[in-house]
Amino acid sequence: MTALTPLPSPNPLTEPYWQAAHQRQLKLPRCEACTKFHFYPRSACPHCGCRNLSWHAVSGNGEVYSYTVVYRAPSKSFAPEVPYVVAVVALDEGPHLMTRLTQIAPDDVRIGLRVTVDFRRMDDETTLPLFRRAGWSL
């Protein structure tokens, strides 16, 4: 990714997520009533409706639930990245998270592949939580 890559714009609901990512931690909102995690961040628990939510670190481990391979860059900034894999990762804690997979050839990706979070610092304010094959690192 280049400096021209579009970056997230945190809002009050998502800011804790991005702040944690910049500290190389994956944190998700958890309901204090039913104790279930959820993602994406929202103002009430999608499981029970409770508004008493707090942020907690999660393992960063999960498996590929679904994925697609992007061969045609959606903009010039992504052109050096193609082909790349956009995946929905089912985290061990339950929530599903849309992300990109790194350090893996698209042909090696499979449903159920174990993955772990991997952080890519983009600038002084933004770090993206991406995922790579579990147990592998370069």
Number of residues that bind Zn ion (CB under 5 A): 7
Residue 28 within binding range of Zn ion, rule CB under 5 A:
no
Residue 44 within binding range of Zn ion, rule CB under 5 A:
no
Strands 96-102 and 127-133: parallel
Q: Which two tokens stand for residue 71?
A: 């061969």
CB 34 within 8 A of CB 51: no
Binding-site member from 4, 13, 34, 86 for Zn ion (CB under 5 A): 34
Tally Cβ neighbours within 10 Å of residue 15. 11
Cβ nearer to Zn ion, comparing 40 with 119? 40
Q: In whole angstroms, how close is the CB of 52 to Zn ion at the nearest point?
A: 8
Q: Which stretch binds Zn ion (CB under 5 A): 10-18, 48-56, 108-116, 127-135?
A: 48-56
Cβ nearer to Zn ion, comparing 55 with 119? 55
Contacts of 11 by beta carbon, 8 Å cutoff, 6+ apart: none
HSE on the CB side for 111, CA within 13 Å? Answer: 2
Residue 48 within binding range of Zn ion, rule CB under 5 A:
yes
Binding-site member from 20, 28, 31, 128 for Zn ion (CB under 5 A): 31
Residue 53 within binding range of Zn ion, rule CB under 5 A:
no
Single-letter code of the amino acid located at 95:
P
